[in-house]
Structure 1
Amino acid sequence: MNKLVLVDGNSIAYRAFFALPLLNNDKGVYTNAVYGFTMMLLKVIEEEKPTHMLVAFDAGKTTFRHNTYGEYKSGRQKTPHELSEQFPYIRKVLDAFNISRFEVENYEADDIIGTLAKQAEAQEWDVKIYSGDKDLLQLVTNKVTVSLTRKGVTNVETYNVDGIKEKYGITPEQIIDMKGLMGDSSDNIPGVPGIGEKTALKLLKEFASVEKVLDSIDQISGKKMKERLEENKEQALMSKELATIYREVPVDINFDSMNFGEYRQEDVVDLFKELEFNSLLDKVGGEESQPELIEEKLDFEFITEIKAEHFASPAALVIEVLEENYHQADIISVAIVSEAGNYVFSAETALGSEQFIAWANSSEHKKWVFDAKRAIVALGWKGIELNGIEFDYLIASYLLDPSVSSHELADITKRQGKKSVEYDETVYGKGAKKGVPSQDILHQHVVRKASAMYELKTELEQALEKNEQKSLFEDLEMPLSIILGKMETTGIKVDTSFLEQMGQELSEKLQELEAKIHELAGVKFNINSPKQLGEILFEKLNLPVIKKTKTGFSTSADILEKLKDKHEIVELILHYRQLGKLQSTYIEGLLKVVYQDTSKIHTIFNQALTQTGRLSSTEPNLQNIPIRLEEGRKIRKAFVPSEKGMSILAADYSQIELRVLAHIAKDEKLVTAFKEDMDIHTRTAMDVFHVKEDEVTSNMRRSAKAVNFGIVYGISDYGLSQSLDITRKEAAEFIERYFETYPKVKDYMENVIEQARENGFVTTLLHRRRYLADITSRNFNLRSFAERTAMNTPIQGTAADIIKKAMVDMATKLKEEKLESRLLLQVHDELIFEVPDHELEKMKKLVPEVMENALSLDVPLKVEVEYGATWYDAK
């Protein structure tokens, strides 16, 4: 039996967007609607097992219904750009799953669904419709059922003919009569004023249809009711017409094209990775197809006895490490390619050779590597210092185009028109099956890497030169990779006894909180069980229900925040959760990643990941330790100097992105405010609200701060309204006043978008590029996201360049001054050092001096320096 599933794309997307908090991937793409929509799709595919499937979308704002009633849907607010930007990705998801999608000018998705449902029913097919709009209930028949989303996306309520009769007491055909009488505010269908659902249903149970109700006005009791019906006859009939789904749409599509079966798993997996839907990858799991190994073999010598003749300068060097976390990892092979020849060494041979170690140490012998930081750290743990690194293919590829999804060497060679290197995953496998292959395959793989690098350098250098990025590469990113390698190897010491003690204290606090919560609840229950917690809050304590999910009451953090003033138990539960996360994620989590032989944490700094140029931190992420809660801030007390007689010194850039904005936009008011060292949020509040400094309230400053930090990211009225908990109208007015106050900021935003259209990319002050393929797209949603990115990247990217430049300058200064102080961490706009006490006074002056002069701007860069016995004390 054929089974057709039809999905109302716009309706489900809207439901998903407003049901889930705003999410975005590391490229800044909003994904909450896409995620919710995808969850619904996976559920439908699993539960319905359709033979045919189609998702219908509205083609535009205007439909044939506007010819009948010009105000149709006019009351709807403009779609937030955070949602509209996601529709192209929803379509990408459908294409990846090989699910048909369709839209027709002048018609709505409902009309397409109605037409196809009618045609399928005529062929005796079973039809299942998914939507959030109960208008579609009019399509229900013995062969057609409708599932409506309820409280979220995947929680649905399914209706057949009996279900509609049970719920409303009418037939599916009478749904349009009900809408004709009561109207529909969401579609701006007027109906008859004063008639709601209850009255409409009562009338229909007695008279069956709108027409018969209007023909029987004399038989209806109530003078006001009669008058309303008499005065609004035409409006009632028009409302019924507007609510009626048109089922004769000229759909140029056949049922064969809606076949649903196989889809390319690789396409779905790649898209999920791009969108960072990591939790969904298992749902589309299985083994991905692997490409064939390159058949053509490369000649090389496997060296068992190292001689001086094996080394020439320059040389492409491969230090092969299998593990993603390369700290203390085994080196499985070494390859060197130069004019002297193609050589492969076992790790034991290379690392045990004094000649190899001397060559690695030598700054005179120039090395070309892929991921210098990885090579430096891998050898560093073996006690070998790698010097003389002249070129890094990973960094070069990243600078040339940070938007590409992969900078693996195999991808770099492909982009240069060659296929000479296998993907690591092809050679080593992945997951549980990952491992070292046979010696022949391993040796061929590493020598191919080294050979490809030796051949590619000139092409990549020329590309950097063409992009005006030679200085960015040579003077900033290359020296930074070496600095980061040393920082990773150095690590930061952790007082594990303090963490353990703090964990014990948190356990005691959690027990105290648990007891208080149970006392207020009047019963013991599992606070970590959403189901039990929901029953306590909403059934036993009768708190107002804000949201229900498939499994019961929603007890998410945003829901509990709205209930804080309803009962004192809510505040305690929120605190309990915060402390629980601190204990599990940060106390226990950090203790697990302390290296036993160093008593330190050796995080990994990702230098070639973000499109803005910012560094990120993983294994563990030390940039994400929560500091808003005092208990979270206390975790920083565990980070201490590696030796006695040293202090931790923290130097933090103050409002660096706003200072960069002031410089780039050349807005006199912003520039003056920074030059006069005013609190920029107070200054903005004064200018926008037209008040004196002593008249600025905390709410005014909070609003100004939200706009200051949001405006350059293309914040919308919707985004600002969510941030400040105000109406979209108030948010729009605030944004308008901001631009009136700082007109050159608006000019900058318009100009940078225009430049992006002309060039296809935007740049930072140091010529870091970000390509924007969709900046000229005809698709509004793709184009608007690209425009927002164009506004943001020069600001955030330049701020990233500045702190990187400060790191390089500080490393140079420490070496020149022969200081023992060491740079340990970079956390957003902050640098963390460990400083011997006898260098403390010097470093307190030197660090801000170097950081504030990293780049010359129209406004002063400002650095705040603190120090203490721990990282906590340095703030």
Structure 2
Amino acid sequence: MAEKVVLIDGNSIAYRAFFALPLLNNDKGVYTNAVYGFTTMLLKILEEDKPDHLLVAFDAGKTTFRHKTYTEYKGGRQKTPPELSEQFPVLKELLDAFGIPYYQLEQYEADDIIGTLATQADGQKYDVKVISGDKDLLQLVTERTKVTLTKKGITNVDTYDPAFLEEKIGIRPDQVIDFKALMGDSSDNIPGVPGVGEKTAVKLLKQFDKLENLYENLDEVSGKKLKEKLETNKDEAFMSKQLVTIEREAPIEVALSDIAYKGYESHKVTSVFRELGFQSLISRVSDQDEEPKETSDQEWEPVDVKVIKDIEDDMITGKEALVVEMLQENYHHSPIAGISIVNKDNSYFISIEDAKKSKGFCDWAEDDSKEKWVFDAKRTHVALRHHGISLQGVTFDLLLASYLINPSENNHDIPAIAHRMNERAVKYDEEVYGKGAKMKLPDDDSILQEHTVRKSEVLYRLKENMEEQLEANEQMELFKELEMPLALILGEMEYCGVKVDVERLKEMKDDLQQRLDQVKSEIYELAGEEFNLNSPKQLGPILFEKLGLPVIKKTKTGYSTSADVLEQLEDQHEVVAKILLYRQLGKLQSTYIEGLLKVVDEKSNKIHTRFNQALTQTGRLSSIEPNLQNIPIRLEEGRKIRQAFVPSKEGWVIFASDYSQIELRVLAHIAQDEKLIEAFREGRDIHTQTASEVFDVPHDKVTSNMRRQAKAVNFGIVYGISDYGLSQSLGITRKEAKLFIDKYLDSYPGVKEYMDESIQNAKRLGYVSTFMNRRRYLPDITSRNFNKRSFAERTAMNTPIQGSAADIIKKAMIDLDERLKKENLQAHMLLQVHDELILEAPESEVEQLAKVVADVMEHTIELDVPLEVDHSYGPTWYDAK
């Protein structure tokens, strides 16, 4: 079987992809739609054609040898859009990751490079496939050389061999240049013969075979007008033939042997895909079951690892990169595999056992005057605290720096950050440790030592570059004054944990089971029979056949009984509300009560949740294993779960303090709306105020229903709600919802102006910012896809509000931690739940604590409206609210 050569017309395919796809760009604002379309086509070629030789040819510039023949060649073309031009360097970076060669040659076009290589390959009996959107390349078709042309976009294609060319157009490959010479080509400004279209050109070539024969026998042409046009434009016809003829002996400096293709390394391609935001394509280039590929030694610079058991003073410079290596994500239970310390002179590795015994290491780690640059300060702090070492002197955190610079990235580990910055000196963890259940420490200790040290070396080298990016983004204060100190506070909160009354949780489990059994019996009674409540196949016929409820939606397997369907049927039959309640109680039972019991530390009866500081694009914290921010509190049974959270000491209480309507206050400040500002300054109920404005009634005439609807509009505005979203939450028509929103915006013109300006600024900059310069990039803000653009516009409006509120409570946590220490209070923070801080404190401190917390939280930042804080306390978290 002959070897296969694939030659791609890079400019043509990129151009087609650009205009076929919406104008996408990644989190850095770089346009990527042409690159994305090109990549999907490329993956298809690699999967289906499996080429032995591969090249992408590009045009070298605007001027070619053809311009000497005709200065107006391609003169009518519109200028390449800058959104496309800037994608060619990105496309070439992608080709480098795939290991695919590309080539361009001054004064020649991609067609000429392809024509020269295709002719050579054809002559050497290779099978050749040319891919383009340009019909000129059809002149290269032979029995061995096929030309694939895009028809619409880049996925709809035709592949031409001589037979298909004859069938499709009616000419032979050697007639293509005569065909184009007669027709001309407006896209390349090739004149041809005016008035001669495709049918006439084919007819003339069938009669005369070639252009030369046609003009030698012009008298035989039927039709006086056609004969005159041909005669008048003879020079143009022959010039056009010269222009469309592909040069098959271009002086290229690339041979077939240079474009042999052996495939790609998936981790290199995956890294670029992540950087470009091509998450959906990653699975196509990475085999999940594939063992990590061994990388040849030649690719890696040797690392001089000094394995030590102690630290002497002369080993330390005072500016070190420190990596504490752990395999598992949950660092509360994952053992430390080893520790690496790197400075400008040396790279050290020390085991955790030796580190704990080493006075030199412990003294250095706990010395605040010795600078440490780490990856994930919180995780590092907690891991070492579990071994009795209190890390001090952290001045740089690579994880947080990367998160602030690239908030939409979902992978911020050291190898991913390094690869995004073209730093290829460290392998991905799965290449060293394996994945999932196969993850383990390498048998050879030197592999672990080298990998850990490489991470520290990369961290050491990247630090300056990352700080420069933060400076350029005006985010250094956000990094140094907010995120960095907060990381250590969160680390201490995680390490301390929250005490749980395990017996109370077990009682709740039994109580909830009784409640579930009771609700189940009531459902069976209303349904008239018993069935499997958790089976949609059994529930569907009961509801829609036996009870005759209207069918809202069907699935492939029968009736839909999803929550949104049941909520629409709730007023149709009382059994529906019972089923919804049963599901809610079941989730409380399995997800929360049983879930909490699984993660309680048996020795201390504490839960150590982990706070995600580098996850959300708004800057909000989230919590996992378990998620203590998401315990459902709308149901009383859900609220009661908080009864299990208790102080860790006798005579102490749980103290809760939360901001009142912080996001609406932030909105009033950002929008500078006079009515909103006045309402908050005068202490008016903002929902009553809004209801009064929207329904045009005095404050004392506002009903509870009016206030409920106004509240939905108020918070809907904050979250960028649409008329559809508001109609769903209030159970009203979209028309009514739109009227509410319009009246709201009429009443608060400052808010309307803010919303419009947010969108315009996002389109201009490609991102929006919070008070503290946290950025969120919005690549879809200029998308031609309505849904994507609309979501980006809503995000542009609500992110500065939500993100600024998140910044405020983070700053309050830092200020409060400092104030508690200054006042010598024993009270300390346990949890942060969005706008709420949960502390534990001796009951004797409560009065002083209430004043301190209110003072700190209300004055952590000065807005044009007052910040208000509510507080409460009690023997459990439940009682503190």
The verdict on a shared fold, with TM-score over 0.5 as the criterion, is yes
Equivalent of 1:362, from 367, 388, 406? Answer: 367
Q: Is the deviation greater in 349-358 or in 618-627?
A: 349-358
SS in structure 1 at match of 2:826: coil
Q: Which residue of 2 aligns with 1:462?
A: 468
Structure 1 753/320 Cα, relative in aligned 2: closer, same or farther at 3 Å?
same
How far is the alpha carbon of 1:291 from its aligned partner? Answer: 7.7
How far is the alpha carbon of 1:676 from its aligned partner? Answer: 1.2
Q: Which residue of 1 aligns with 2:418?
A: 413
How far is the alpha carbon of 1:350 from its aligned partner? Answer: 1.3
Contact 1:534 1:554 in 2 (8 A): yes
Q: Deviations over 1:464-520 (max 9, x none)?
A: 222222221111111100000000000001111000000001111112222222223
Q: Percent identity?
A: 58
Is 1:792 equivalent to 2:798 in the alignment? Answer: yes
Q: Which residue of 1 aligns with 2:295?
A: 292
Q: Which residue of 1 aligns with 2:316?
A: 311
Contact 1:394 1:408 in 2 (8 A): yes
Contact 2:310 2:359 in 1 (8 A): no
Equivalent of 2:503, from 497, 505, 513? Answer: 497
How far is the alpha carbon of 1:753 from its aligned partner? Answer: 2.1
Q: Which residue of 1 aligns with 2:519?
A: 513
Q: Which amino acid aligns with 2:771?
A: L
Is 1:587 equivalent to 2:593 in the alignment? Answer: yes
How far is the alpha carbon of 1:413 from its aligned partner? Answer: 2.3
Q: Which residue of 2 aligns with 1:422?
A: 427
Q: Which residue of 2 aligns with 1:689?
A: 695
Q: Deviations over 1:697-754 (max 9, x none)?
A: 2332222222211224432222222222222222222222111111111111111222
Q: Which amino acid aligns with 1:682?
A: T
SS in structure 1 at match of 2:720: coil
Contact 1:311 1:340 in 2 (8 A): no
Q: Which residue of 1 aligns with 2:400?
A: 395
In 1, Cα distance between the equivalents of 2:717 and 2:294?
A: 46
How far is the alpha carbon of 1:448 from its aligned partner? Answer: 1.0
Q: Which amino acid aligns with 2:375?
A: F
Is 1:557 equivalent to 2:557 in the alignment? Answer: no
SS in structure 2 at match of 1:648: strand
In 1, Cα distance between the equivalents of 2:575 and 2:760?
A: 53
Q: Which residue of 1 aligns with 2:248?
A: none
Q: Kindly report which structure 2 residues correspond to 1:235-634, keeping only aligned pairs within 5 A, or say none.
A: 286-287=289-290, 292=295, 294-437=299-442, 438-634=444-640
How far is the alpha carbon of 1:818 from its aligned partner? Answer: 1.3
Is 1:748 equivalent to 2:754 in the alignment? Answer: yes
SS in structure 2 at match of 1:390: strand
Structure 1 461/815 Cα, relative in aligned 2: closer, same or farther at 3 Å?
same
How far is the alpha carbon of 1:650 from its aligned partner? Answer: 0.5
Contact 1:712 1:749 in 2 (8 A): no
Contact 2:772 2:804 in 1 (8 A): yes
How far is the alpha carbon of 1:656 from its aligned partner? Answer: 0.7
Q: Kindly report which structure 2 residues correspond to 1:138-217, keeping only aligned pairs within 5 A, or say none.
A: none
How far is the alpha carbon of 1:315 from its aligned partner? Answer: 0.9
Structure 1 265/806 Cα, relative in aligned 2: closer, same or farther at 3 Å?
same
Structure 1 666/512 Cα, relative in aligned 2: closer, same or farther at 3 Å?
same
Normalized against structure 2, the TM-score is what?
A: 0.67
Q: Deviations over 1:16-51 (max 9, x none)?
A: xxxxxxxxxxx9xxxxxxxxxxxxxxxxxxxxxx99
Structure 1 604/277 Cα, relative in aligned 2: closer, same or farther at 3 Å?
farther
Q: Which residue of 1 aligns with 2:666?
A: 660
In 1, Cα distance between the equivalents of 2:291 and 2:665?
A: 47
Equivalent of 2:842, from 823, 830, 836? Answer: 836
Q: Deviations over 1:249-282 (max 9, x none)?
A: xxxxxxxxxxxxx9999999979x989999x99x
Q: Is the deviation greater in 784-793 or in 655-664?
A: 784-793
Contact 1:663 1:857 in 2 (8 A): yes
SS in structure 2 at match of 1:753: helix
How far is the alpha carbon of 1:830 from its aligned partner? Answer: 0.4
In 2, Cα distance between the equivalents of 1:818 and 1:568?
A: 57
Contact 2:486 2:814 in 1 (8 A): yes
Structure 1 775/625 Cα, relative in aligned 2: closer, same or farther at 3 Å?
same
Q: Deviations over 1:424-443 (max 9, x none)?
A: 22222211111112312211
Is 1:802 equivalent to 2:808 in the alignment? Answer: yes
Structure 1 573/771 Cα, relative in aligned 2: closer, same or farther at 3 Å?
closer
Q: Which amino acid aligns with 1:311?
A: I
How far is the alpha carbon of 1:794 from its aligned partner? Answer: 1.1
Structure 1 382/862 Cα, relative in aligned 2: closer, same or farther at 3 Å?
same
What number of residue pairs does the alignment pair up?
A: 632
SS in structure 2 at match of 1:788: helix
How far is the alpha carbon of 1:777 from its aligned partner? Answer: 4.4
Q: Deviations over 1:182-201 (max 9, x none)?
A: xxxxxxxxxxxxxxxxxxxx
In 2, Cα distance between the equivalents of 1:649 and 1:717?
A: 39
Structure 1 579/745 Cα, relative in aligned 2: closer, same or farther at 3 Å?
same
In 2, Cα distance between the equivalents of 1:825 and 1:605?
A: 9
In 2, Cα distance between the equivalents of 1:839 and 1:298?
A: 55
Is 1:845 equivalent to 2:848 in the alignment? Answer: no
How far is the alpha carbon of 1:285 from its aligned partner? Answer: 5.7
Normalized against structure 1, the TM-score is what?
A: 0.68
Q: Deviations over 1:790-812 (max 9, x none)?
A: 21221111101000000000000
Q: Is the deviation greater in 313-322 or in 563-572?
A: 563-572
Q: Deviations over 1:524-581 (max 9, x none)?
A: 2222222222222223333333222222222222222233333332222222211111
SS in structure 1 at match of 2:779: coil
SS in structure 1 at match of 2:781: coil
In 2, Cα distance between the equivalents of 1:454 and 1:565?
A: 63
Structure 1 354/541 Cα, relative in aligned 2: closer, same or farther at 3 Å?
same
In 2, Cα distance between the equivalents of 1:268 and 1:350?
A: 36
In 2, Cα distance between the equivalents of 1:337 and 1:546?
A: 63
Equivalent of 1:758, from 764, 768, 789? Answer: 764
In 2, Cα distance between the equivalents of 1:758 and 1:277?
A: 27
In 1, Cα distance between the equivalents of 2:573 and 2:782?
A: 52
Q: Which amino acid aligns with 2:409?
A: V
In 2, Cα distance between the equivalents of 1:274 and 1:574?
A: 38
In 2, Cα distance between the equivalents of 1:638 and 1:551?
A: 41
In 2, Cα distance between the equivalents of 1:552 and 1:773?
A: 39
Contact 2:310 2:360 in 1 (8 A): no
In 1, Cα distance between the equivalents of 2:780 and 2:624?
A: 30
Contact 1:268 1:284 in 2 (8 A): no
Is 1:714 equivalent to 2:720 in the alignment? Answer: yes
Structure 1 265/726 Cα, relative in aligned 2: closer, same or farther at 3 Å?
farther
Q: Which amino acid aligns with 2:585?
A: L
SS in structure 2 at match of 1:775: helix
Structure 1 678/276 Cα, relative in aligned 2: closer, same or farther at 3 Å?
farther
Q: CA RMSD in A?
A: 3.5
Contact 2:654 2:875 in 1 (8 A): yes
Is 1:856 equivalent to 2:859 in the alignment? Answer: no
How far is the alpha carbon of 1:287 from its aligned partner? Answer: 3.7
